[in-house]
Amino acid sequence: MEREILRLGWRTDKETRVVSAGDLRGFCRDCGSRRVFLVADARVMSLHSQAVLRGVGDRLLGTFVMEASEKLKTPRTLQALWSELHRAGVSRNDIVLAVGGGIVLDVGAFAASTWMRGVRLVLAPTTLLAQVDACLGGKTAVNVGGVRNQAGTFYPADLVWICAEILTTLPEREYRCGCGEILKTAILSGSAELQEIAGGLPLPGRERTEWSRRAASACLAFKAGIVEADPEEKSDRILLNLGHTLGHALESATGFGLNHGEAVSLGILASSIMARRLGAPAGFTEEVLSCLCGLGLPVRLPRRITGLSRFLRRDKKARPEGTTWILPFGWGDCRPTLLSPDAEGELVAGALEEIS
Ligand SMILES: NC(=O)c1ccc[n+]([C@@H]2O[C@H](COP(=O)([O-])OP(=O)(O)OC[C@H]3O[C@@H](n4cnc5c(N)ncnc54)[C@H](O)[C@@H]3O)[C@@H](O)[C@H]2O)c1
């Protein structure tokens, strides 16, 4: 059961096809006679190597297996991967296939974008977060000096292969992390369907698999509209940063003790409190809180956080005059808001106080 759910055109001659499928078998079908270099998540390979390798077949040129850890999403890992691409003799005609969650996709895509100045890229996201968000949009990244996504490129995949069934082995905590990005998209889009999806995560089983499939289709359709119009984040794409300005700083300040999805969820809640302090209806923050509780996501900081302002200053949107925050004033009403360092300090401190 394979279905093309999206086809995006980019300003270059590139196109991204997004396919939803029941297994991994077909993900190299479009590869023709091209050879494939596999970049894969170690955990996924320990659970699904047979399916992955069967999908690649005899095209396999080489494999780079990595642990999905923010501490390894670094230039050093990228360099090790380049060395393996060299050793395997990967050429311009070959394909880099990345199989894993957002960490492995970000690193694999970065390598594909820079190897021989760009080779074909296929992504098979294996976490809910990666299926509803990270697999689409062309951002690649590594962390530098413990700061999130400091180096990266824009490089859309040629094919994204989404198999909701692979999520059955995903740990519950990781599943819930993906729900944070679903709530983000529900708020940004104001879509009734996404609001209903973000209303609660079904128990593991067939109903949850169907729910994930619907969530991925709806979230990616919304994201596609934004990134197609603004691929390099010169205008509206900035909206997709809802919850991320604070989320990234929280991840770094906790030494990655919070997962990306958990940090973004707290970032969304704190941003809704900041918006409320600037005039948004109080009832909206309550609705965000209730969704986060329903999805089993954190609504309180795990501990006292120090050193946050250092990481906020490192945000890619930070300028000397201030940082543009995306503040949610209601469903479908998110506003880019420039906050001076003083205003930001006061609003962030107030919001964090409320969720401590
Ligand atoms: N490029 C983008 O547009 C974009 C967007 C959002 C997030 N991201 C990045 O994504 C990263 C977070 O990624 P993530 O939350 O997808 O998770 P992850 O890559 O950190 O993986 C989470 C955990 O799940 C395991 N795992 C993955 N798939 C599994 C499966 N099917 N079964 C069992 N275990 C599995 C991994 O081994 C890991 O332990 C962050 O680095 C973030 O910056 C990128």
Tell me which of 39-48, 72-81, 343-352 is least confident. 343-352
Is residue 308 in some structural domain? Answer: yes
- CATH classification of the domain holding 274: 1.20.1090.10
Which tops the pLDDT comparison, 102 or 356?
A: 102
Torsion of CA 158, 137, 217, 48, to 10 degrees: 60
What's the token pair of residue 181?
Answer: 């990005």
Q: Judge if 138 and 16 occupy the same domain.
A: yes
Average pLDDT for 93-99: 97
Per residue in 301-316, is it b (16+ CB within 10 Å) or e — as a string?
beeebeebeebbebbe
pLDDT computed for residue 353 by the predictor: 92
**217 and 154 Cβ atoms separated by less than 8 Å:** no
Does a structural domain hold residue 220? no
Q: For residue 88, what is the domain's CATH number?
A: 3.40.50.1970
Write out residues with Cβ below 6 Å of ligand 1.
41, 43-44, 47, 68, 70, 73, 100-104, 106, 126-127, 129-130, 133-134, 137, 139, 149, 166-167, 169-170, 174, 177, 260-261
User: Is 281 within the bounds of a domain?
Assistant: yes
Which residues form the domain of 111? Answer: 2-170
In a domain, 223, yes or no: no
CA of 166 to the centre of ligand 1 (A): 13
Q: In this structure, is residue 335 part of a structural domain?
A: yes
- pLDDT category at 311 given cuts 50, 70, 90 is confident
The model's pLDDT over 220-249, given as tens digits with 9 standing for 90+, comes to: 999 999 999 999 999 999 999 999 999 999
The answer to whether the CB of 105 falls within 8 A of the CB of 123 is yes
Q: Nearest 5°: phi and psi at 201? A: -95, 120
**Given a cut of 90, is residue 11 above it in pLDDT?**
no
Position 252 pLDDT exceeds 80: yes
Could you read off the pLDDT of 152-203 as tens digits, one per residue? Answer: 999 999 999 999 999 999 999 999 999 999 999 999 999 999 999 999 899 9
Banded model confidence at residue 277, pLDDT cuts 50, 70, 90: very high
pLDDT at residue 319, rounded to an integer: 83
Residue 207 lies in a domain: no
Please state, in angstroms and rounded to a whole number, the distance separating the CA atoms of residues 111 and 108.
Answer: 5
Same domain assignment for residues 159 and 254: no
What is the predicted pLDDT for the residue at 52? 96
Task: Give the chain's domain count.
Answer: 2
How much is the pLDDT for 225?
95
Q: Are 168 and 204 in contact (CB under 8 A)?
A: yes
